[in-house]
A = this chain, B = another copy of it.
Amino acid sequence: MAIRPAEQLIHKAAWLYYAHGLRQDEVASQLNISRASVAMYLRKARETGIVNISTSTQLFTDDAMARRLEDAFGLDAVWIAPENAYLADPSTDIAVLAASVFLELAKKGDRIGVAWGRTVYTIADIMSFADLQDVTVVQLCGNLGAPYSYRPDQCTMEIARRLNAKGLNFYAPLVLSTEELAKSLRAEPVIRDQLAGIADCDLALYSVGAVDADSHLVKCGALSPAEMEALRSQGAAGVIAGQIIDARGEILDCSYNRRVISAELASLRAIEKRLMVVQEDSKFEPLLAAIAGGLCTHLVVGAHMAERLLQHAGAATKKAS
């Protein structure tokens, strides 16, 4: 596991190369090893977070549209990934941006809450490594079944690994079959402590889910398509950390929610920086709900979604006046 012979050497090589600006062959002769080894050590140094290469995300917040969004929705900061040019796959662009923003927001000693989903896992997957000591990554909600690699615990662990941080997993299922069982489980000391610790986080990372048959809740069997549809007609507007919220961003009063083991919305709102990342345009309504509920202070979206949000805000104020 531990890179035994090196670690020290990796550090030295990285130091000479990146801090002092020597060439690889100079480093090699200093350290009495071959250039090839130096190149290999340097790659390891980058992969381990011993050296850190980060790009300023300024460009994406400086945008005029980002400013207007901040004002319109009272958000602390908004980043907009330009959908147009750049790359083939726009959603990758959003994830890359989100990962950079995330690393920029994370500080040493922080406690970071992480939810789950395709978006979160994609971010974890492309996120570069960092050397954040004393960071704890906590899982915001219970687990669900296997089929997906972006299970809650996977997301938490992967991000913890990238940050060289400690991952705190949640050993409980996301959904139980009866309300009673959920209640007793929540009362268990291990679980209770974990849930209580969520409000102490400095930073949260999550996305929001749509209320439709494509939802992971349906795909994982937590809810049937029919149940989902029923919830929708009861006012379900989105999914946050495995829980159903209504259009106001409040928890929906339903049996499902009472059977879930997850962070209370109040705990989430207590977290200073709540970074929400939304990739799909289809998540417009859920996102509005999450914003309305104050579940998001920092937002990363694509240009198209940004436009829709602004349009919506414009229409709302026009109607109001």
Contacts and interface: CB of A to CB of B under 8 A. Distances in A.
A155 to B, nearest CB: 21
Given A11-B58, A11-B59, A59-B8, A16 B86 contact: yes
A29 to B, nearest CB: 12
Interface in A71-109: 85-87, 92-93, 96-97, 100, 107
A285 interface: no
25 contacts: A8-B59, A11-B56, A12-B59, A12-B86, A15-B55, A16-B87, A18-B55, A19-B55, A19-B97, A19-B100, A20-B87, A20-B92, A20-B96, A30-B85, A30-B86, A30-B87, A49-B56, A50-B55, A50-B58, A51-B56, A52-B52, A52-B55, A53-B53, A58-B131, A58-B133
Given A20-B87, A86-B30, A54 B52 contact: yes
Contacts of A53: 18, 51-53
A205 interface: no
Nearest to A108: B104
A86 B26 CA distance: 11
A14 interface: yes
Interface of A: 8, 11-12, 14-16, 18-20, 30, 45, 49-56, 58-59, 85-87, 92-93, 96-97, 100, 107, 131, 133
Given A30-B85, A87-B20, A96-B19, A51 B55 contact: yes
B54 A51 contact: yes
Contacts of A8: 59
